[in-house]
Amino acid sequence: MINKSSRLHTGKYAAVGRITFLTNLAYFAELLWRTIFMALIIFIFAQLWAVVYVGIEVQRLGGLTYTQMIWYLVMTETIVLSRPRVEDLVGREVRNGDIAYRLNKPYNYLMYHYAAYMAEAAMRLVVNFIVGSLIARLMAGAIQVSLSAILLFIPAALLGLSIEFFIKVCIGLGAFWVEDTESFLFLYDKALFIFGGMMLPLDLLPDMIRRISMVLPMNFVLYRPARLFAGYEAEAVWPLFGGQLAWLALAGLLCTIIYRMGVKRVNVNGG
């Protein structure tokens, strides 16, 4: 009975993910068009980093060659462009009161959105990874990538996106108390840009900022997965996944607490 109930419970969210995947598959051409933005960004930064490497006459920066640096940037962009805007959806449901109609549905509100989010994110990630790899190959040449790096990057990126899901949902749920949550989203995106190593590897930051960045969740979303791929080191695998799981549990707990506090406001005010 327990196993059957568990399968039915899991099956609901698997169905949500499958429907979301098929829906986004219908707009596959639109997804490919987004990769043009990636190509433009990488082209610009490839030229900038080429000037930097030649100008200071070094073979490596932050432990990365020029080719590895471009592949690193491609991997961070691959993850960034794979993020669905779940915070907009959740914030809109809270502000419009639509969340009240979801509370009596036979599913968990957070898990419902997580299943839909991950289905779309996984599809985007695979497409962006393939197209991004082609872009990096054309602009900077090939790098020696071990099979382990390739096999570990996708789950590491998905775990990073899972952490971001709960952070973004926390921002969206802030609409229970604040009408406009765009300012919080702006701050988070800028923190991701700096502390996540979006355009600049954390190895190149001042020592104090780098130390702070290495314990924040942003670096587990972007820097560590991308760094693992561009410059694979076996000893970095367990700290990466251990840190991701720890932050995932913490972000999930915080999101659940905020959600329950918000739901109490809905119940007290009558929806």
- Report CA-CA distances (Å) from 167 to 5, 25, 94, 115, 178: 30, 26, 16, 15, 16
% of the chain residues with pLDDT over 90: 30
Mean pLDDT over 152-180 rounds to 91
Would you say residue 271 has pLDDT above 50? no
pLDDT, residue 3, reads 55
pLDDT, residue 99, reads 79
| Higher-pLDDT residue of 148, 187 | 187
Show me where the domains of the chain are located: 2-269
| Higher-pLDDT residue of 50, 220 | 220
pLDDT tens, residue by residue, 113-154? 898 898 889 888 888 888 888 888 888 888 888 888 888 999
Distance CA 207, CA 254 (A): 29
Cα-only R_g, the chain: 20
